[in-house]
Each structure stands twice: as C-alpha cells, then as structure tokens.
A and B are shown apart, each in its own frame.
Chain A
Amino acid sequence: MAANMRGLTQFIADIRGARVRELEEKRINKEMANIRKKFKDGNLDGYQKKKYVAKIIFTYILGYKVDIGHLEAVNLISSSKYSEKQIGYLAVTLLMHENSDFLRLVVNSIRKDLDENNEVHNCLALHAIANVGSSEMAEALAEDVHRLLISPTSMTFVKKKAALTLLRIYRKRPEVIPAAEWALRLVSLMDDQDLGVVLCVTSLIMALAQDHPDAYAVCYTKAVDRLHRIVIEHEYSGIYTYYKVPAPWLQVKLLRLLQYYPPTEDTTLKNVLNETLQIIMTSSAEPSRNVQHNNAQNAVLFEAISLAIHLDTRSPLVDTAAVLLARFISSKETNVRYLGLDTMAHLAARSDTLEPLKKHQGTIILSLRDKDISVRRRALDLLYSMCDIDNSELIVGELLRYLKVADYVLREEMVLKIAILTEKYACSYKWYVDTILQLISAAGDHVGEEVWYRVVQIVTNTEDLQEYAARVVFEYLKTPSAHESLVKVGGYILGEYGHLIANEPGYSPLEQFQALHSKSQFCVAPTRSLLLSTYIKWVNVFPEIKSQLINIFERYRHVLDAELQQRACEYYALACLPDDNEMLQNVCEEMPPFPPRVSGLTSRLNRKMADTEDKRTWIHGGREMNLEQQMTTLMRSKQAEVPVNESTTASGAADSTMFNALAGLNLTMPSEAGESGAIPRLTVGPSIDKWYKKLTYSAEGVLYEDVQIQIGIKSRFQGYLGQLAIYFGNKVSAPLTSFTSTVYVSDSEAISATFAKIPANILASRTQSQQLLQVECKKVFTAIPILTVSFLAGAHQSISIRLPITVTKFFEGVKFGQADFFERWKLIGGSPRESQVVFPIALDAAGHIDLPHNRRIVSGNHFEILDGIDPNPNNIVGAAVLHTSVDGKVGCLLRLEPNREAKLCRLTVRSTSEEVAAEVQRLMEAALRTE
C-alpha cells in the first residue's frame, strides 16, 4: 500500500538516503513537525490522514518515539474504506499499548466491525483485540467474540482468529469467560474439519484446561484421537503437511496439552497413546537431508518424548527415548544437542533412577565446554538435575572447575546451583564446608547473600561442624586475596567458634585477630559492622587481646558512618565495663540454633508467578523437587476453586506466607467446589427415569430417546466384569458432528468404565453406531456412572444420563436348599448387616399381587429365586453373590413379603457386608416401589 502513496515512498527514500544518523533524525523531525501542523490545521480527508499515519508508523518502526497520530488512527478505524481502516488498525496495534487511554475510543468501532457481516472487517477487529485488548475491552467484547467463534456460519479464518482473541480476553479478564459453562461447546470445536481451526482452538483449550482441568477433561480424549488420526490413520488434508511432516505445530500443541493432565487411567486411551508415540519415535529415527523436514520432525519428536516421560518414566517408550537422547547429545547439529540436553534434563527431573543417564555423564560434562553458550546452559541444567548422592562429589567438582572459566552471565546461577547441590547431597560435613568455602573464594562477586547466610545457618545448627569450619575458614582468611563474602563468613564463624581452635598452635587469638583485621580496610561498611560484632564476641572469650580490640572500638567511635559509629560506641561501653559485670557475658552468649527452615536458595531459583500464562510442565532439579512443585501447583488450583467469599481465604490470599499456611488446610478440606463442577448435571425428561428403571432389571432396552437421537443398551455381565454395547441412532436427516460420549465415574476406586476404543466423532444421518463400554467392579459402589453425550446439530446439544450399572449387575444367583438358606440367614443376623424397609407397591389389573412382575425384578437383579423356602407362595426369597475384583466375593440374601390388603411390601436384605445390604435394599425398593 505504501507503493501508491508517493509522499510516503519519497519519505522512505529520503531516510534511506541519509548518510548519517543525524541527517536521518533531521529529516524525521521535519516530517513530524509537518504532520503535527497538518493535524492541527484539521480538514484532512481520509487519504491524507492515511498517508500521514503511515508515515508515523514507518517512523515508529525505525525505532523513534512517536506521540502523535493516535486520534487520527482512531478516526481511520471507523472509515468505511478498507484501505484506511486497515492502516488505522495497524497504527492502533503498533502505537498503542493495552493501557492507552485512546483505546476507550475504539471499543465501539471495534464492536461495529465485529458485528458487521463482512469477514475481513471482523478479522481486523479480532486482530486488534488480540493484540492490544485491555481488560475493559475484554469485558465489553467477550460475548461478540465468542459468538463469532461458535457460529456455524463463521468462515474458518474468522473462527481461528476468534479462538485466539478469546484466549487473549481470558488472559486479561478470566472472570468474563464462563469457562466451565462453555467447556463442552468449545471442546467440540477441536473436531473441526479444518486443522488450522483445531490448532487455534487447542491453544485456547490449553489455557482454559489448566485452570479448569475437570470441566475440560474431555479434551484429553479429543487430543489423543486427533493425534491418532494424524499419525496413524494419516487423516489430514495435504496442505497441512509441512516438508512431509503432517501438521507439526498441531502435533506439538496436542502433545503439550496432554502433559498438562495427569497420565490417563483409561486403558484404551493409554494404548492408543502409546501406539502413537511409538510411531512418532520410530519414524523419526532416520534423519533426512532436508533441514526443514528434520526440524519439523524433531519438534514433534522432542515433544513426544516429553509426553512419554510425563506418562510413565518406567515404560519401554522411555527406554527407547533414552537411547535416542543419548544419540542426540553427541549430534553434530547444535540445535539437536541443545534439545537433547534439555529433554534429558526433563527425564532426569522425573525419573526414579538416574542410572541410564549416568552412562552419559562424561558426554554431558564435556558439553559444559561446548562452543555454544546455549548448549553450555542446558548442560549445566542437566547436571543440576541429574546430581544425586553418588555422583555429587564428581559433578560439583566439575562445576567448580568450570565455574572459573564460565561465562560471566552464567556464574551467579551456577553458584546458586552448586550451593544447593552441595547442601542437598553432602555426604560429609567436611566436604560441605570445603566445597562451599572453595565456591565463595572462587566465585567472589557472584556469590549472592543467601549463599553465605545459608553456610552460617548450617554451621550454627551443626555442632560437629563448628570446629572444623572455624579452622578452614581461618586458612582461607590467611590467603592474601580473600573475597569479601569470605570475610563475612570468617567474621561470623570465628566470632562464634574461634575459641574452639584457639588453643592449637597457629590459631591463637592474636593470629585470628590479625588475619581478620588485615582484611577490614578493604571492606565496605556493612562488613566492617559485622567485624565489630565479631570483636565484641572476642572481648568476651579472648581476654588476652582485649586491649587491641578496645583500641579498635575507640577508633571507630569517630567514623562518619552512623551505623559503624553507633556499634563502636555501644561495644566500647560494653567492653569497658568492670570484669565482674555479667552484662557482656549475657550479650555474647553463643547463638542459639536457627529454627529449621527451608533453604532460601531453592526458592530463589524457583520463584513462581501465579498468572494465566502457559507453564512448563516440569522444573529443573531432581525428582523430589518436581513432586514438591506439583504439590504446590495442585494446591494453587484447589485454592483457585474455593469460592473467594470464604472468609479464611479472602483475608489471607494476598499475603504469601498466609497463603501457604492456608493451602495446607485446603488440601484436607473436601473440595466440594471442585467436584460439583465436574459432575455432569443430569438431563431430566418424563421418560428418562422410566427407561432407566426398566434397564436396572433387564439386560437390554432403550436408555434415551428424543427427536434427534436414540440411545439403546445391550449388556452382559460375567463375574466382576461387564460389557455394555451402547447404540446411538441419529434420527435426523443431517449428520451429528463433533459427537462425543464420555462416562463419568465419581468413585474410580470402586468401579471403572472405559470405552473399548475412541468413538468416531461423526454420526451420519439416519444411521446407528455402536460403542462398547468395558466395566469392572472393583469394590462395592453406590455412585452410578453417568453417560454424557454431546454433539452439534445446528446448535450444541448435550445429554447426561445415568447408565444402568448398579451393584446388583455384578451379582450371580446361588441355589440353596431350605436348611442351607436358613443357616446362612441366621448366621448373618440382624442389624447392621440387615436392611429392612416397608413401602407401597402396585397390584395388577385384577387387584392381585403382581407376582410375575416381582419375580422379574428380583431375578433381573441377578438373584436366584429360591422356591419352596417360604411357605407363603406370594413371598419371594433370593440369594446371590457379588463379585468384585479387589474385595472378592460378598454373599447377599433377600426376602420380599408383599401384602395385598395393605398394598405394602416388606423387603429384608441380609448380607455379610453392611454396605451391600443397604445398597441392595435401596435399589430393589426403587425398582418395586410405586408412588
């Protein structure tokens, strides 16, 4: 566009022609002055405004500060001409930032462009919100953006932009997006035909799922399914292959998304995922000649390895990955070495055993001397992560050696890491003290305060160490070039524990004093104050050098520094007290041990910010650190779900220490807030309960039906296993797309229900599809699994219904003779292992007890009906045994006594398990009772 604005082209040419920077600045100032004048005079038409704004943009791009043209840009946005509008939007996104006051002026224009029936205008508006959207804008426009995203008539390129814009809005103002409510609808977009849309929607879902993992849980299946379709079924449109790699960005995104969830429990998903990862790893084994192809393939591969590590560090996949990584870290390509080390650090951070990595320790240590600083950094991170008690001396030794030649920018971090490793994996105190002092003397300026604080803490709290520490630090002080940090450590330790070594030759009080005091003149005031404190301690324990010390206090009483002067005066007074005064002794008591506290070092390394940004899924450091990290994230997410109006959290959330204290509380609290969000709300309808009730005592039938869809069930149970064939029939003349079915089980310890394979996501018009659900009863359960079906048929629909999987489905009838039955009946005895209830029942048309119906229900609940035990033929007696895979078998007996006159029925259930008795009584009553 610049091309057809001659003035602009001329301006650019002039600037390019400027031989020195002064000339360029001069030309720009002239132009800006001219533009300012034109703007002031007003009366500009659209073209002129566009031209001047374009010049301003160009100036901005050159790196000059521009402070004019904002208002004109705002005007251009509301122009009806696309060319002017486009420049206006460009200026707004470049010149303004989200807090700019001018943005208030464009909200209405943006809304107008969003609502317009013109896709290119929609796109400009979306793009502007995504780039500079403020929280105010987020609040005003969230609804419009959401509408563009989910509207079935939106073009794909609008949907893509809308998805990312919604993400921006969410990051700015999470509360304007009802994330949980929109979950199913948004996740359904992951089934879009267009892989570009899927990519953008996945970015959005990734952010939302991190904050609302339960509501978005179904995205896990979607992601696995999509990966499977891309990698194994090769189901993608050709234009999305990039140098022969199918949709690498999408693959990477999906693999990353899966790492934000804990490893799945669902065996079907697990198998599909393993198969997919396996294929990715084997197909990447042979590198090709094309750089682009290799890059894309490796991008997917590295992410796949990360996911494999995340899923299970003990899986054969990870073994394969470890072999690949070992090859990568000695690759000729620097990028591959870099990523190999990075991913290996991930493995080290998660793995229970570091043995496979230690085989490559030599190569890794060598990487510390790589020619590229990026690689050196990764090697450092990896060594830090793979250090343990066995190799700590070696690794720390290497790091110390490397520290002396390391890049300036790396040193501070290295010092911190060495200090942490030394403390964590010290096998002897002696080694700890030696290493840390060596570290301080070698790194000098790069030693942060927290490093020497920590040494002092540890020495003070470890009695065995004090004498040794005092001796070593004294040796260091005798060297001519002891660093100031060392002087501080020396000052503190000799002051406290110098007396422990004072009797040995060469460590006399006078020698200690001379060694320390000779350094004093090179130190800054705070260090000298510390030394004064050391001296007053010495006055107490070393009377032989008291006169020298008093001399020093005397001199310092006249220095200009207020702190020094005050200390000197006070210490002087203290030292000059008569000998029998106990004051000095009391003041100079030995320091009590520090209260045990977490090392300040790691927290310094891993400070976290709580915001809505995507996080890495692991941190550098060993396995324990990662576990800790997961705990804190977990606590944070729990914290987030607890309603804010709760008095405890509201008061303390801002304060971080309070926050931590409360986080512990939240963990023990049943997190009702979290759970209620996850349980699907049951669909209600006149026949739903009837259908369900019928299916509780029959093996097949209709579970749900409306004008669009019919759901039928056929079931089979054998021991503690069951199989449900669920039939979905599409009754309308259009396909149901983004068809998703999930089963919600609240107590996965007691019962598991998984689909045998990932269901297809389209249900063609007037067809039926079948899905097999595998069920296993592990323990007695009372919570009924819930099936949620959602699909797009014009609008987004979702149905949640109970599945007819009750505990009695896992019963198997047993035949008893009269004697056996009564023996067991008595053995079990009454309450609490008996559960009894009386409830109204319906009679048949003739006014008799509906015996066939009752028998059907009892035998439908898998009881064996025992005839001839009860003398009354209307009564029913049954026996069964429950099969569970974890808790074994549980027997259960039942007696049903209907009374025609009272239209009532008494039900007695006895079982060796109280839970079973109560649950069976409840289920049978529900089936038999009449309202």
Chain B
Amino acid sequence: MIHAVLIFNTSGIPRLTKFYTPLHQSSQTVVQKIFSLISVRPAGLCNFLDAPELEAFLGPKDDSNERWRVVYRNYATLYFVFVVDGAESELGILDLIQVFVEALDRSFENVCELDLVFHFDEVHHILAEIIQGGLVLETNVEEINLSVKSALKARKDSFVSSHPLALGSGGSRNGGLQTHLNWLTDRLTGVSGR
C-alpha cells in the first residue's frame, strides 16, 4: 500500500502532502524528516530507501520485511516522494511517479513548481485519479487525463449555471491562469526560495 505522496522542492518546502495513513505527528515534521533523508543522497544512488526512521510518524512496522520504504524521484527543483510498504513493487512505484508527472504535465502544459502552488486543488484532483486510498487506481495517462477533464467539465457546467451572465468559463485554467501568472510575475521577481 502507498501510505503517503509528497512533493517538496529542493529547499524542503512542501508542495503537496497527501497521507493515506493517519499520522502520529504533524505532517510538517514528517516532510522535514524525509527531506533530510533524501536531500543528502547524491544523484546516481538508487531511488529506494528503507526508512525505519519513519516509524515514529506512521506507526511501527516491527517486521523487518514490512519496513517503511521511500521511493523518490527528482525532477528539476522538485522531489516526488512516495512512502510505501513491502507489498508494493519498488519499480512499479517509480513508474507511477513518472505517470503522475506526465499527468501533471498533460494538465498544466509544461508543469512547473508555480503550477503546483497556485493550483494545489487541481494537483490533488489529478492525484485522486491515480491513487485512491493508498492503492493504484489508474496508470494510464490518457485515462487519467480523461477523468480529470470530465471533472473539469462538471465544474465548468456548475460555474456557468450559477453565473449565467459570466463571459467565458470560470473553470478554464488557460484563459484565467495566463493573466494571473502575468499579473504575478512582476510581484514575484526578486523573491527567493519561498
């Protein structure tokens, strides 16, 4: 089972945190712990890491075969991290991370960190089409994209029905987003890390 899906950047700031198992401590400390484990690992090491350290956060796994395992992948400034148990295939999860990234890319057209910040809800909706309750729901980018689109359409429809006079569609991220991002770029230049 997949117990957590996390995205954080190379400074350790979380961009997505989704836990499928109740936590024993605050999510921030978990992210920090995992970040400290992963960020010290140079490129070229394997993408899997046993993490008995996580027992304090996610509950004990006494059996050495059922250990918490972290499967992670680094894309540009972002770390995609899955916390899994022994029942998952490590490489399967690694592929799943790739699927997740491709699905994000499909929805955001060249996804970057900013997209994850301003569309955190959308990121969660996309994740929900891939993993449900800690289990793999769908692995096919086309299918995932279709489901995301159908949810988007439902949202658009509900927007139009409640704003009959609105011009254009409120749900469309392309129309709305572009202006927002432009509007923001001025404010954001010169702002570091955070």
What is A's interface to B at a CB cutoff of 8 Å? Answer: 1-4, 9, 12-13, 15-19, 24, 46, 54, 57-58, 61-65, 80-84, 86-87, 90, 94, 97-99, 119-120, 123, 126-127, 130-131, 133, 157, 160-161, 164-165, 167-168, 196, 199-200, 203, 239-240, 242, 247-249, 252, 256, 292, 295-296, 298-299, 302-303, 334-335, 337-339, 371-375, 377, 381, 409, 413, 605-609, 613-616, 618-620
Contact = CB atoms under 8 A, between A and B. Distances in A.
A295 B121 contact: no
A120 B150 contact: yes
A252 B89 contact: yes
B106 interface: no
A169 to B, nearest CB: 10
Interface string B93-129: 0111011000000000000000001111110110010
Interface in B59-79: 62-66
Given A19-B194, A338-B46, A372-B46, A239 B120 contact: no
B20 interface: yes
Q: Main SS of the interface on chain B?
A: helix
B10 interface: no
B36 interface: no
A650 B65 CA distance: 30
Given A90-B121, A335-B47, A409-B53, A17 B188 contact: yes
A133 B147 CA distance: 22
Given A3-B180, A615-B86, A157 B147 contact: yes
Contacts of B53: 409
B92 A299 contact: yes
A199 B131 CA distance: 12
6 contacts: A3-B173, A63-B27, A200-B136, A249-B139, A334-B45, A620-B65
Contact of B26 (A65, A131, A413, A615): A65
Given A63-B14, A81-B161, A292-B98, 19 more contacts: A1-B119, A1-B121, A3-B119, A13-B184, A13-B188, A17-B194, A62-B14, A63-B27, A80-B158, A83-B171, A130-B133, A165-B133, A199-B139, A248-B139, A298-B91, A373-B49, A607-B63, A615-B86, A620-B64
B177 A3 contact: yes
Contacts of A4: 159, 170-171, 176
Of the candidates B94, B99, B140, the one having the most CB atoms from chain A within 10 angstroms of its own CB is: B140
Across the A-B interface, the 7 shortest Cβ-Cβ residue pairs: A130-B133, A63-B28, A299-B91, A614-B87, A334-B46, A607-B62, A82-B158
Contact of A203 (B41, B50, B135): B135
Q: Main SS of the interface on chain A?
A: helix
Place the interface of chain B in its size category. Answer: 35 or more
A465 B90 CA distance: 46
B92 A131 contact: no
Nearest to A197: B138
A537 B21 CA distance: 54
A82 B48 contact: no
A83 B46 contact: no
B126 to A, nearest CB: 12
B18 A374 contact: no
Contact of A2 (B91, B121, B155): B121
A115 B66 CA distance: 38
Contact of A249 (B41, B95, B142): B95
A613 B46 contact: no
B151 A374 contact: no
Contacts of B87: 256, 613-616
A82 B155 contact: yes
B154 A120 contact: yes
Contacts of A82: 151, 154-155, 157-158
Contacts of A168: 133
A303 B135 contact: no
Given A249-B139, A334-B46, A86 B22 contact: no
Interface in B1-48: 1, 14-18, 20, 22, 26-28, 31, 41, 44-48
A90 B44 contact: no
B157 to A, nearest CB: 7
B173 A17 contact: no
